[in-house]
Structure 1
Amino acid sequence: MQSFSLSPRELVASLWRHRALVWLMVKREVVGRYRGAYLGILWSFFQPLLMLLIYTFVFSVVFKARWNAGSDSKTEFALVLFAGLMVFNLFAECVSRAPGLVIANVNYVKKVIFPLEVLPWVVLGSALIHLSISLVVWLMVYMIFYGWPPLTVLLLPFVLMPLVFLVMGVSWFLASLGVYLRDASQITGILTTVLMFLSPIFYPASSLPENFRELIYFNPLTPIIETMRDVLYWGHLSHPVAWVSILFISLLIAWLGFAWFQKTRKGFADVL
Protein backbone atom coordinates (compact mmCIF):
# COMPACT_ATOMS: atom_id res chain seq x y z
CA MET A 1 0.00 0.00 0.00
CA GLN A 2 1.29 3.46 -0.89
CA SER A 3 2.51 5.56 2.02
CA PHE A 4 2.03 9.31 2.27
CA SER A 5 4.33 11.74 4.05
CA LEU A 6 3.05 13.37 7.25
CA SER A 7 5.96 15.83 7.38
CA PRO A 8 5.15 19.53 7.89
CA ARG A 9 7.56 20.24 5.03
CA GLU A 10 5.43 18.14 2.68
CA LEU A 11 2.48 20.44 3.45
CA VAL A 12 4.04 23.23 1.36
CA ALA A 13 6.29 21.06 -0.84
CA SER A 14 3.25 19.32 -2.33
CA LEU A 15 1.72 22.65 -3.31
CA TRP A 16 4.99 23.76 -4.94
CA ARG A 17 5.40 20.52 -6.91
CA HIS A 18 1.85 20.68 -8.25
CA ARG A 19 1.53 24.47 -8.55
CA ALA A 20 0.75 24.31 -12.30
CA LEU A 21 -2.04 21.78 -11.69
CA VAL A 22 -3.46 23.83 -8.80
CA TRP A 23 -3.47 27.04 -10.84
CA LEU A 24 -5.17 25.27 -13.77
CA MET A 25 -7.87 23.88 -11.48
CA VAL A 26 -8.35 27.25 -9.76
CA LYS A 27 -8.95 28.95 -13.12
CA ARG A 28 -11.38 26.22 -14.12
CA GLU A 29 -13.15 26.58 -10.76
CA VAL A 30 -13.59 30.36 -11.09
CA VAL A 31 -14.63 30.30 -14.76
CA GLY A 32 -16.96 27.33 -14.24
CA ARG A 33 -18.83 29.05 -11.42
CA TYR A 34 -20.04 31.84 -13.71
CA ARG A 35 -20.25 29.94 -16.99
CA GLY A 36 -23.52 30.73 -18.76
CA ALA A 37 -24.29 33.81 -16.64
CA TYR A 38 -24.77 37.03 -18.58
CA LEU A 39 -22.75 39.09 -16.11
CA GLY A 40 -20.12 36.41 -15.59
CA ILE A 41 -17.54 37.17 -12.92
CA LEU A 42 -19.20 40.56 -12.25
CA TRP A 43 -21.51 38.62 -9.94
CA SER A 44 -18.55 38.33 -7.57
CA PHE A 45 -18.78 42.15 -7.24
CA PHE A 46 -22.54 42.38 -6.86
CA GLN A 47 -23.11 39.56 -4.38
CA PRO A 48 -20.89 40.89 -1.56
CA LEU A 49 -22.14 44.42 -2.19
CA LEU A 50 -25.75 43.29 -1.89
CA MET A 51 -25.08 41.42 1.35
CA LEU A 52 -23.13 44.40 2.64
CA LEU A 53 -26.08 46.72 2.02
CA ILE A 54 -28.48 44.33 3.74
CA TYR A 55 -26.25 43.82 6.80
CA THR A 56 -25.54 47.54 7.03
CA PHE A 57 -29.25 48.41 6.93
CA VAL A 58 -30.21 45.78 9.53
CA PHE A 59 -27.43 46.48 12.02
CA SER A 60 -26.75 50.21 11.59
CA VAL A 61 -30.28 51.43 10.79
CA VAL A 62 -32.58 48.94 12.53
CA PHE A 63 -30.41 47.94 15.52
CA LYS A 64 -28.46 51.25 15.64
CA ALA A 65 -25.12 49.45 15.96
CA ARG A 66 -21.99 51.64 15.93
CA TRP A 67 -18.24 50.98 15.99
CA ASN A 68 -17.55 54.25 17.81
CA ALA A 69 -19.98 55.80 20.27
CA GLY A 70 -19.30 59.27 18.88
CA SER A 71 -19.67 58.33 15.20
CA ASP A 72 -22.94 58.09 13.32
CA SER A 73 -21.34 57.38 9.93
CA LYS A 74 -23.01 54.55 8.04
CA THR A 75 -20.10 54.54 5.58
CA GLU A 76 -17.70 53.82 8.41
CA PHE A 77 -19.95 51.07 9.70
CA ALA A 78 -20.22 49.51 6.23
CA LEU A 79 -16.47 49.53 5.58
CA VAL A 80 -15.52 48.17 9.01
CA LEU A 81 -18.19 45.48 8.75
CA PHE A 82 -17.10 44.55 5.22
CA ALA A 83 -13.47 44.18 6.33
CA GLY A 84 -14.47 41.54 8.89
CA LEU A 85 -16.92 39.94 6.50
CA MET A 86 -14.18 39.35 3.92
CA VAL A 87 -12.24 37.27 6.44
CA PHE A 88 -15.27 35.23 7.41
CA ASN A 89 -16.45 34.71 3.82
CA LEU A 90 -13.12 33.20 2.83
CA PHE A 91 -13.19 30.91 5.85
CA ALA A 92 -16.82 29.92 5.31
CA GLU A 93 -16.44 29.28 1.57
CA CYS A 94 -13.53 26.89 2.06
CA VAL A 95 -14.78 25.14 5.18
CA SER A 96 -18.37 24.64 3.98
CA ARG A 97 -17.12 22.96 0.78
CA ALA A 98 -14.41 20.88 2.43
CA PRO A 99 -16.53 17.87 3.55
CA GLY A 100 -17.65 17.21 -0.05
CA LEU A 101 -14.31 17.76 -1.77
CA VAL A 102 -13.15 14.15 -2.03
CA ILE A 103 -16.68 12.81 -2.58
CA ALA A 104 -17.17 15.22 -5.50
CA ASN A 105 -13.93 14.01 -7.09
CA VAL A 106 -14.27 10.24 -6.82
CA ASN A 107 -12.61 9.79 -10.21
CA TYR A 108 -9.42 11.31 -8.77
CA VAL A 109 -9.43 8.90 -5.82
CA LYS A 110 -9.02 5.93 -8.15
CA LYS A 111 -5.94 7.51 -9.72
CA VAL A 112 -2.98 6.70 -7.51
CA ILE A 113 -0.86 9.42 -9.09
CA PHE A 114 -3.35 12.25 -8.45
CA PRO A 115 -2.37 14.42 -5.44
CA LEU A 116 -5.65 14.55 -3.53
CA GLU A 117 -4.08 16.79 -0.90
CA VAL A 118 -4.13 19.74 -3.33
CA LEU A 119 -7.93 19.82 -3.59
CA PRO A 120 -8.32 22.17 -0.58
CA TRP A 121 -5.65 24.43 -2.11
CA VAL A 122 -7.82 24.74 -5.23
CA VAL A 123 -10.84 25.88 -3.20
CA LEU A 124 -8.66 28.28 -1.23
CA GLY A 125 -7.21 29.72 -4.45
CA SER A 126 -10.72 30.35 -5.78
CA ALA A 127 -11.76 31.95 -2.47
CA LEU A 128 -8.67 34.19 -2.49
CA ILE A 129 -9.58 35.46 -5.96
CA HIS A 130 -13.06 36.38 -4.72
CA LEU A 131 -11.54 38.02 -1.63
CA SER A 132 -9.26 40.04 -3.92
CA ILE A 133 -12.28 41.26 -5.89
CA SER A 134 -14.07 42.19 -2.67
CA LEU A 135 -10.95 44.00 -1.51
CA VAL A 136 -10.88 46.05 -4.73
CA VAL A 137 -14.52 47.03 -4.10
CA TRP A 138 -13.65 47.96 -0.49
CA LEU A 139 -10.69 50.13 -1.58
CA MET A 140 -12.78 51.87 -4.25
CA VAL A 141 -15.47 52.80 -1.72
CA TYR A 142 -12.85 53.91 0.81
CA MET A 143 -11.10 56.16 -1.71
CA ILE A 144 -14.38 57.71 -2.84
CA PHE A 145 -15.25 58.80 0.71
CA TYR A 146 -11.88 59.16 2.47
CA GLY A 147 -9.11 59.34 -0.12
CA TRP A 148 -6.01 57.15 -0.09
CA PRO A 149 -6.11 54.23 2.38
CA PRO A 150 -3.50 54.00 5.16
CA LEU A 151 -0.09 52.50 4.36
CA THR A 152 -0.85 49.62 6.74
CA VAL A 153 -2.87 48.14 3.86
CA LEU A 154 0.49 46.82 2.65
CA LEU A 155 0.53 44.50 5.68
CA LEU A 156 -2.55 42.68 4.42
CA PRO A 157 -0.65 39.60 3.07
CA PHE A 158 0.82 39.06 6.54
CA VAL A 159 -2.61 39.48 8.14
CA LEU A 160 -4.05 36.81 5.87
CA MET A 161 -1.22 34.34 6.48
CA PRO A 162 -2.72 32.83 9.69
CA LEU A 163 -6.12 32.66 8.00
CA VAL A 164 -4.69 30.69 5.07
CA PHE A 165 -3.08 28.06 7.30
CA LEU A 166 -6.13 27.88 9.57
CA VAL A 167 -8.43 27.34 6.60
CA MET A 168 -6.17 24.69 5.10
CA GLY A 169 -5.87 22.72 8.34
CA VAL A 170 -9.63 22.68 8.91
CA SER A 171 -10.27 21.91 5.21
CA TRP A 172 -7.93 18.89 5.17
CA PHE A 173 -9.55 17.53 8.32
CA LEU A 174 -13.11 18.01 7.03
CA ALA A 175 -12.30 16.72 3.52
CA SER A 176 -11.21 13.44 5.06
CA LEU A 177 -14.00 13.33 7.65
CA GLY A 178 -16.60 13.92 4.92
CA VAL A 179 -15.62 10.64 3.25
CA TYR A 180 -16.32 8.58 6.36
CA LEU A 181 -19.14 10.68 7.86
CA ARG A 182 -21.60 11.94 5.27
CA ASP A 183 -23.36 14.11 7.88
CA ALA A 184 -20.25 16.28 8.09
CA SER A 185 -21.55 18.72 5.46
CA GLN A 186 -24.75 19.41 7.39
CA ILE A 187 -22.93 19.72 10.72
CA THR A 188 -20.34 22.05 9.19
CA GLY A 189 -23.05 24.28 7.69
CA ILE A 190 -24.70 24.74 11.09
CA LEU A 191 -21.43 25.36 12.92
CA THR A 192 -20.30 27.89 10.30
CA THR A 193 -23.51 29.89 10.76
CA VAL A 194 -23.09 29.82 14.54
CA LEU A 195 -19.46 30.90 14.20
CA MET A 196 -20.49 33.90 12.09
CA PHE A 197 -22.49 35.36 14.97
CA LEU A 198 -19.86 34.40 17.53
CA SER A 199 -17.24 36.38 15.61
CA PRO A 200 -16.96 40.18 15.99
CA ILE A 201 -18.16 40.85 12.44
CA PHE A 202 -21.30 42.89 13.15
CA TYR A 203 -20.16 44.27 16.48
CA PRO A 204 -16.87 45.18 18.20
CA ALA A 205 -15.58 42.71 20.77
CA SER A 206 -15.42 45.61 23.26
CA SER A 207 -19.23 45.87 23.19
CA LEU A 208 -19.60 42.48 24.91
CA PRO A 209 -20.04 42.21 28.69
CA GLU A 210 -16.79 41.64 30.58
CA ASN A 211 -17.57 38.01 31.42
CA PHE A 212 -18.13 37.15 27.72
CA ARG A 213 -15.39 39.31 26.22
CA GLU A 214 -12.58 36.86 26.99
CA LEU A 215 -14.54 33.92 25.58
CA ILE A 216 -14.79 35.45 22.11
CA TYR A 217 -10.99 35.37 21.84
CA PHE A 218 -11.09 31.57 21.95
CA ASN A 219 -12.49 31.95 18.45
CA PRO A 220 -9.39 31.89 16.18
CA LEU A 221 -11.12 34.20 13.69
CA THR A 222 -11.44 37.02 16.23
CA PRO A 223 -7.82 38.29 16.19
CA ILE A 224 -7.65 37.89 12.40
CA ILE A 225 -10.84 39.92 11.90
CA GLU A 226 -9.68 42.64 14.29
CA THR A 227 -6.22 42.82 12.68
CA MET A 228 -7.83 43.02 9.24
CA ARG A 229 -9.83 46.07 10.36
CA ASP A 230 -6.78 47.61 11.98
CA VAL A 231 -4.65 47.58 8.83
CA LEU A 232 -7.44 48.37 6.36
CA TYR A 233 -9.46 51.05 8.12
CA TRP A 234 -7.95 52.22 11.40
CA GLY A 235 -4.39 52.41 10.04
CA HIS A 236 -2.50 50.67 12.83
CA LEU A 237 -1.52 47.22 14.08
CA SER A 238 -2.73 47.00 17.66
CA HIS A 239 -2.39 43.26 18.33
CA PRO A 240 1.04 42.08 17.05
CA VAL A 241 1.41 39.55 19.89
CA ALA A 242 -2.04 38.12 19.15
CA TRP A 243 -1.06 37.88 15.47
CA VAL A 244 2.08 35.89 16.28
CA SER A 245 0.10 33.60 18.60
CA ILE A 246 -2.63 32.90 16.05
CA LEU A 247 -0.01 32.32 13.34
CA PHE A 248 1.66 29.65 15.49
CA ILE A 249 -1.71 28.05 16.29
CA SER A 250 -2.75 28.15 12.63
CA LEU A 251 0.50 26.48 11.54
CA LEU A 252 -0.09 23.75 14.10
CA ILE A 253 -3.71 23.28 12.94
CA ALA A 254 -2.55 23.16 9.31
CA TRP A 255 -0.02 20.43 10.03
CA LEU A 256 -2.45 18.39 12.17
CA GLY A 257 -5.14 18.63 9.48
CA PHE A 258 -2.65 17.68 6.76
CA ALA A 259 -1.31 14.75 8.79
CA TRP A 260 -4.87 13.52 9.45
CA PHE A 261 -5.69 13.72 5.73
CA GLN A 262 -2.52 11.86 4.72
CA LYS A 263 -3.07 9.21 7.37
CA THR A 264 -6.70 8.51 6.48
CA ARG A 265 -6.60 8.84 2.68
CA LYS A 266 -5.55 5.20 2.28
CA GLY A 267 -9.14 4.17 3.02
CA PHE A 268 -10.86 6.60 0.62
CA ALA A 269 -11.04 4.17 -2.27
CA ASP A 270 -12.57 1.42 -0.09
CA VAL A 271 -15.26 3.70 1.34
CA LEU A 272 -16.14 5.37 -1.99
Structure 2
Amino acid sequence: MLGLLRGIWSYRQFIIDSIRNDFANRFARSRFGFIWMVAQPLAMVLVYALILSEILAARLPGIDNQYAYAIYLSAGFLAWTLFFELLNRTLTLFIDNANLIKKMRFPRIALPIIVMGTGLINNVILFIAILGVFAVLGHLGGSELLWIVPMMLLTAALALGFGLILGVLNVFIRDVGQFVTIVLQFWFWLTPIVYPLVIVPEEYRHLFHYNPLFPIVNAYQNILVYGHSPSVASLLPTAILALCLLIVGLLLFRKASPEMSDAL
Protein backbone atom coordinates (compact mmCIF):
# COMPACT_ATOMS: atom_id res chain seq x y z
CA MET A 1 0.00 0.00 0.00
CA LEU A 2 2.81 2.41 0.88
CA GLY A 3 4.44 1.52 -2.43
CA LEU A 4 1.33 2.65 -4.29
CA LEU A 5 1.29 5.95 -2.41
CA ARG A 6 5.00 6.50 -3.11
CA GLY A 7 4.38 5.79 -6.78
CA ILE A 8 1.58 8.38 -6.87
CA TRP A 9 3.82 10.98 -5.24
CA SER A 10 6.77 10.21 -7.51
CA TYR A 11 4.60 10.61 -10.61
CA ARG A 12 2.62 13.61 -9.32
CA GLN A 13 3.79 15.81 -12.18
CA PHE A 14 2.71 13.15 -14.69
CA ILE A 15 -0.73 13.12 -13.03
CA ILE A 16 -1.04 16.92 -13.08
CA ASP A 17 0.07 17.12 -16.73
CA SER A 18 -2.36 14.34 -17.70
CA ILE A 19 -5.29 16.19 -16.11
CA ARG A 20 -4.22 19.39 -17.89
CA ASN A 21 -3.89 17.56 -21.21
CA ASP A 22 -7.30 15.95 -20.75
CA PHE A 23 -8.89 19.39 -20.56
CA ALA A 24 -6.81 20.72 -23.43
CA ASN A 25 -7.80 17.85 -25.71
CA ARG A 26 -11.45 18.08 -24.70
CA PHE A 27 -11.69 21.76 -25.59
CA ALA A 28 -9.39 21.71 -28.62
CA ARG A 29 -10.94 23.71 -31.49
CA SER A 30 -13.94 24.55 -29.34
CA ARG A 31 -14.81 28.19 -28.73
CA PHE A 32 -17.24 27.44 -25.92
CA GLY A 33 -15.54 24.49 -24.21
CA PHE A 34 -16.52 25.19 -20.62
CA ILE A 35 -20.09 25.97 -21.66
CA TRP A 36 -20.51 22.52 -23.22
CA MET A 37 -19.18 20.95 -20.01
CA VAL A 38 -22.15 22.23 -17.99
CA ALA A 39 -24.73 22.44 -20.78
CA GLN A 40 -25.67 18.75 -20.76
CA PRO A 41 -26.50 18.36 -17.03
CA LEU A 42 -28.25 21.74 -16.96
CA ALA A 43 -30.25 20.79 -20.05
CA MET A 44 -31.24 17.54 -18.34
CA VAL A 45 -32.42 19.52 -15.31
CA LEU A 46 -34.44 21.79 -17.59
CA VAL A 47 -36.11 18.87 -19.35
CA TYR A 48 -37.13 17.17 -16.10
CA ALA A 49 -38.22 20.48 -14.59
CA LEU A 50 -40.48 21.29 -17.54
CA ILE A 51 -42.03 17.83 -17.54
CA LEU A 52 -42.43 17.16 -13.82
CA SER A 53 -42.42 20.50 -12.03
CA GLU A 54 -46.18 20.94 -12.12
CA ILE A 55 -46.64 17.47 -10.65
CA LEU A 56 -44.04 17.60 -7.90
CA ALA A 57 -43.47 21.27 -7.08
CA ALA A 58 -46.39 21.32 -4.66
CA ARG A 59 -44.81 18.47 -2.71
CA LEU A 60 -41.58 20.24 -1.86
CA PRO A 61 -42.23 21.76 1.56
CA GLY A 62 -39.97 24.43 2.99
CA ILE A 63 -38.98 26.09 -0.30
CA ASP A 64 -40.56 29.47 -0.94
CA ASN A 65 -39.61 29.76 -4.59
CA GLN A 66 -41.62 29.19 -7.76
CA TYR A 67 -38.62 27.35 -9.23
CA ALA A 68 -38.36 25.02 -6.24
CA TYR A 69 -38.38 21.83 -8.28
CA ALA A 70 -35.64 23.00 -10.64
CA ILE A 71 -33.50 23.87 -7.60
CA TYR A 72 -34.17 20.45 -6.09
CA LEU A 73 -33.24 18.73 -9.35
CA SER A 74 -30.01 20.70 -9.69
CA ALA A 75 -28.85 19.62 -6.23
CA GLY A 76 -29.47 15.94 -6.96
CA PHE A 77 -27.91 16.08 -10.41
CA LEU A 78 -24.76 17.73 -9.06
CA ALA A 79 -24.17 14.71 -6.81
CA TRP A 80 -25.20 12.12 -9.41
CA THR A 81 -23.12 13.67 -12.22
CA LEU A 82 -19.90 13.35 -10.22
CA PHE A 83 -20.68 9.82 -9.04
CA PHE A 84 -21.73 8.63 -12.50
CA GLU A 85 -18.78 10.20 -14.33
CA LEU A 86 -16.16 8.75 -12.00
CA LEU A 87 -17.71 5.29 -11.79
CA ASN A 88 -18.42 5.09 -15.52
CA ARG A 89 -14.93 6.23 -16.54
CA THR A 90 -13.12 4.05 -14.00
CA LEU A 91 -15.13 1.04 -15.15
CA THR A 92 -13.40 1.03 -18.56
CA LEU A 93 -10.27 2.93 -17.53
CA PHE A 94 -7.74 0.12 -17.85
CA ILE A 95 -9.28 -1.19 -21.08
CA ASP A 96 -9.33 2.28 -22.68
CA ASN A 97 -5.66 2.81 -21.73
CA ALA A 98 -4.46 -0.67 -22.74
CA ASN A 99 -1.82 0.66 -25.14
CA LEU A 100 -0.46 3.08 -22.54
CA ILE A 101 -0.30 0.32 -19.90
CA LYS A 102 1.56 -2.01 -22.25
CA LYS A 103 4.04 0.48 -23.70
CA MET A 104 4.82 2.89 -20.88
CA ARG A 105 6.30 2.19 -17.48
CA PHE A 106 4.48 4.12 -14.75
CA PRO A 107 2.37 3.32 -11.65
CA ARG A 108 -0.99 2.30 -13.08
CA ILE A 109 -2.76 3.55 -9.98
CA ALA A 110 -2.10 7.02 -11.43
CA LEU A 111 -4.86 6.41 -13.99
CA PRO A 112 -7.80 6.44 -11.54
CA ILE A 113 -6.20 9.41 -9.74
CA ILE A 114 -6.21 11.31 -13.05
CA VAL A 115 -9.86 10.41 -13.61
CA MET A 116 -10.76 11.55 -10.10
CA GLY A 117 -8.93 14.86 -10.53
CA THR A 118 -10.63 15.55 -13.85
CA GLY A 119 -14.05 14.58 -12.49
CA LEU A 120 -13.70 16.83 -9.43
CA ILE A 121 -12.68 19.82 -11.55
CA ASN A 122 -15.64 19.20 -13.87
CA ASN A 123 -17.97 19.05 -10.88
CA VAL A 124 -16.59 22.26 -9.37
CA ILE A 125 -17.23 24.05 -12.66
CA LEU A 126 -20.78 22.64 -12.75
CA PHE A 127 -21.29 23.70 -9.12
CA ILE A 128 -20.26 27.27 -9.94
CA ALA A 129 -22.65 27.29 -12.90
CA ILE A 130 -25.49 26.01 -10.69
CA LEU A 131 -24.79 28.73 -8.12
CA GLY A 132 -25.10 31.25 -10.95
CA VAL A 133 -28.46 29.77 -11.95
CA PHE A 134 -29.59 29.83 -8.31
CA ALA A 135 -28.64 33.51 -8.06
CA VAL A 136 -30.76 34.29 -11.12
CA LEU A 137 -33.67 32.35 -9.57
CA GLY A 138 -33.31 34.27 -6.31
CA HIS A 139 -32.11 31.29 -4.28
CA LEU A 140 -28.88 32.30 -2.54
CA GLY A 141 -27.04 30.11 -0.07
CA GLY A 142 -24.90 30.89 2.97
CA SER A 143 -21.98 29.39 4.82
CA GLU A 144 -23.52 25.90 4.56
CA LEU A 145 -22.28 25.84 0.94
CA LEU A 146 -18.81 25.09 2.31
CA TRP A 147 -20.11 21.59 3.04
CA ILE A 148 -20.15 20.91 -0.70
CA VAL A 149 -16.35 20.43 -0.67
CA PRO A 150 -16.32 17.43 1.73
CA MET A 151 -19.45 16.10 0.02
CA MET A 152 -17.67 16.10 -3.34
CA LEU A 153 -14.71 14.27 -1.82
CA LEU A 154 -17.00 11.67 -0.22
CA THR A 155 -18.88 11.18 -3.49
CA ALA A 156 -15.59 10.80 -5.36
CA ALA A 157 -14.27 8.29 -2.80
CA LEU A 158 -17.42 6.17 -3.06
CA ALA A 159 -17.41 6.23 -6.87
CA LEU A 160 -13.68 5.50 -7.05
CA GLY A 161 -14.03 2.62 -4.58
CA PHE A 162 -16.75 0.97 -6.63
CA GLY A 163 -15.08 1.90 -9.92
CA LEU A 164 -11.63 0.55 -9.02
CA ILE A 165 -13.02 -2.85 -8.02
CA LEU A 166 -15.32 -3.10 -11.04
CA GLY A 167 -12.67 -1.69 -13.40
CA VAL A 168 -10.17 -4.41 -12.43
CA LEU A 169 -12.84 -7.13 -12.76
CA ASN A 170 -13.89 -5.70 -16.13
CA VAL A 171 -10.38 -6.32 -17.50
CA PHE A 172 -10.80 -10.06 -16.95
CA ILE A 173 -14.59 -10.40 -17.28
CA ARG A 174 -15.92 -7.96 -19.90
CA ASP A 175 -19.55 -8.72 -19.00
CA VAL A 176 -19.01 -6.67 -15.83
CA GLY A 177 -19.06 -3.43 -17.83
CA GLN A 178 -22.32 -4.27 -19.57
CA PHE A 179 -23.95 -5.33 -16.30
CA VAL A 180 -22.91 -2.17 -14.42
CA THR A 181 -24.29 0.04 -17.21
CA ILE A 182 -27.72 -1.49 -16.64
CA VAL A 183 -27.40 -1.30 -12.86
CA LEU A 184 -26.61 2.43 -13.06
CA GLN A 185 -29.88 3.07 -14.87
CA PHE A 186 -31.83 1.44 -12.05
CA TRP A 187 -29.61 3.09 -9.44
CA PHE A 188 -30.48 6.54 -10.76
CA TRP A 189 -34.21 5.97 -10.44
CA LEU A 190 -33.87 4.26 -7.05
CA THR A 191 -32.23 7.42 -5.68
CA PRO A 192 -34.49 10.42 -4.87
CA ILE A 193 -33.05 12.77 -7.49
CA VAL A 194 -36.00 13.56 -9.76
CA TYR A 195 -38.59 12.94 -7.04
CA PRO A 196 -38.72 13.72 -3.31
CA LEU A 197 -38.81 10.86 -0.84
CA VAL A 198 -42.15 12.04 0.51
CA ILE A 199 -43.99 10.73 -2.55
CA VAL A 200 -42.80 7.17 -1.84
CA PRO A 201 -45.24 5.13 0.29
CA GLU A 202 -44.12 5.33 3.90
CA GLU A 203 -43.73 1.57 4.31
CA TYR A 204 -41.05 1.54 1.58
CA ARG A 205 -39.04 4.61 2.57
CA HIS A 206 -36.72 2.72 4.92
CA LEU A 207 -35.42 0.73 1.93
CA PHE A 208 -33.73 3.85 0.58
CA HIS A 209 -31.34 3.84 3.53
CA TYR A 210 -29.73 0.73 2.03
CA ASN A 211 -28.74 2.83 -0.98
CA PRO A 212 -25.24 4.20 -0.17
CA LEU A 213 -25.80 7.14 -2.50
CA PHE A 214 -29.01 8.23 -0.75
CA PRO A 215 -27.31 9.99 2.23
CA ILE A 216 -25.02 11.85 -0.16
CA VAL A 217 -27.81 13.07 -2.43
CA ASN A 218 -29.92 13.96 0.60
CA ALA A 219 -26.99 15.98 2.00
CA TYR A 220 -26.61 17.88 -1.29
CA GLN A 221 -30.33 18.65 -1.22
CA ASN A 222 -30.21 19.84 2.38
CA ILE A 223 -27.27 22.12 1.61
CA LEU A 224 -28.38 23.57 -1.72
CA VAL A 225 -32.16 23.45 -1.42
CA TYR A 226 -32.96 23.96 2.23
CA GLY A 227 -29.80 25.73 3.42
CA HIS A 228 -29.12 23.17 6.17
CA SER A 229 -25.86 21.53 7.14
CA PRO A 230 -25.92 17.75 6.50
CA SER A 231 -26.17 15.19 9.27
CA VAL A 232 -22.71 13.77 9.88
CA ALA A 233 -24.22 10.72 11.59
CA SER A 234 -26.24 9.83 8.48
CA LEU A 235 -23.14 10.14 6.29
CA LEU A 236 -20.89 8.04 8.51
CA PRO A 237 -21.97 4.60 7.16
CA THR A 238 -21.40 5.79 3.58
CA ALA A 239 -17.99 7.19 4.53
CA ILE A 240 -16.99 3.88 6.14
CA LEU A 241 -18.24 1.97 3.08
CA ALA A 242 -16.26 4.26 0.76
CA LEU A 243 -13.10 3.73 2.79
CA CYS A 244 -13.57 -0.06 2.81
CA LEU A 245 -14.21 -0.11 -0.94
CA LEU A 246 -11.08 1.95 -1.60
CA ILE A 247 -8.95 -0.42 0.50
CA VAL A 248 -10.43 -3.51 -1.20
CA GLY A 249 -10.03 -1.86 -4.60
CA LEU A 250 -6.38 -1.01 -3.98
CA LEU A 251 -5.61 -4.50 -2.72
CA LEU A 252 -7.39 -6.08 -5.68
CA PHE A 253 -5.62 -3.74 -8.07
CA ARG A 254 -2.23 -4.53 -6.54
CA LYS A 255 -2.84 -8.26 -6.82
CA ALA A 256 -4.19 -8.18 -10.37
CA SER A 257 -1.83 -5.52 -11.77
CA PRO A 258 0.91 -7.94 -12.96
CA GLU A 259 -1.65 -9.93 -14.99
CA MET A 260 -3.42 -6.95 -16.52
CA SER A 261 -1.07 -6.51 -19.46
CA ASP A 262 -1.64 -10.09 -20.59
CA ALA A 263 -5.42 -9.81 -20.16
CA LEU A 264 -5.50 -6.55 -22.11
TM-score, structure 1 length as denominator?
Answer: 0.88
| 2:77 equivalent to 1:78 | no
Measure, in 1, the Cα distance between the counterparts of 2:111 and 2:151: 24
- Note the C-alpha offset of 1:10: 5.7
Taking only the aligned residue pairs, the percentage that are identical comes to 28
1:154-188 CA deviation, whole Å, 9 max, x = no partner? 12112223212111111211221121112222222
Measure, in 1, the Cα distance between the counterparts of 2:40 and 2:218: 23
Select the residue among 215, 224, 232 that pairs with 1:223: 215
Residues 62 and 226, structure 2, Cα contact 8 Å, conserved in 1: no
**Structure 2 letter corresponding to 1:212:** Y
**Aligned length, in residue pairs:** 264
Structure 1: runs of 5+ lacking an equivalent: 1-6
DSSP 3-state at the match of 1:146: coil
Change (3 A) 1:112 1:57: same
The equivalences for 1:191-206 within 5 A come to 191-206=183-198
DSSP 3-state at the match of 1:214: helix
1:199-239 CA deviation, whole Å, 9 max, x = no partner? 11011223311222111111111000111121223121242
Partner of 1:57 in structure 2?
50
Partner of 1:143 in structure 2?
135
Residues 109 and 116, structure 1, Cα contact 8 Å, conserved in 2: yes
Change (3 A) 1:108 1:206: same
Measure, in 2, the Cα distance between the counterparts of 1:146 and 1:67: 20
Change (3 A) 1:47 1:208: same
**Structure 2 letter corresponding to 1:33:** R
* Aligned CA-pair RMSD: 2.2
- Note the C-alpha offset of 1:72: 8.0
Residues 66 and 72, structure 1, Cα contact 8 Å, conserved in 2: no
Partner of 2:167 in structure 1?
175
DSSP 3-state at the match of 1:110: helix
| 2:34 equivalent to 1:48 | no
DSSP 3-state at the match of 1:161: helix
Change (3 A) 1:25 1:70: closer
Measure, in 2, the Cα distance between the counterparts of 1:66 and 1:202: 14
Residues 24-33 or 49-58, more deviating: 24-33
Measure, in 2, the Cα distance between the counterparts of 1:127 and 1:248: 22
Change (3 A) 1:143 1:14: farther
Measure, in 2, the Cα distance between the counterparts of 1:92 and 1:271: 26
Residues 158-167 or 63-72, more deviating: 63-72
Change (3 A) 1:49 1:74: farther
| 2:199 equivalent to 1:207 | yes
1:123-151 CA deviation, whole Å, 9 max, x = no partner? 22222122111111111122223364121
**Structure 2 letter corresponding to 1:268:** M
1:15-68 CA deviation, whole Å, 9 max, x = no partner? 44432222211122222223233422321132222111101112213x445452
Measure, in 2, the Cα distance between the counterparts of 1:179 and 1:202: 33
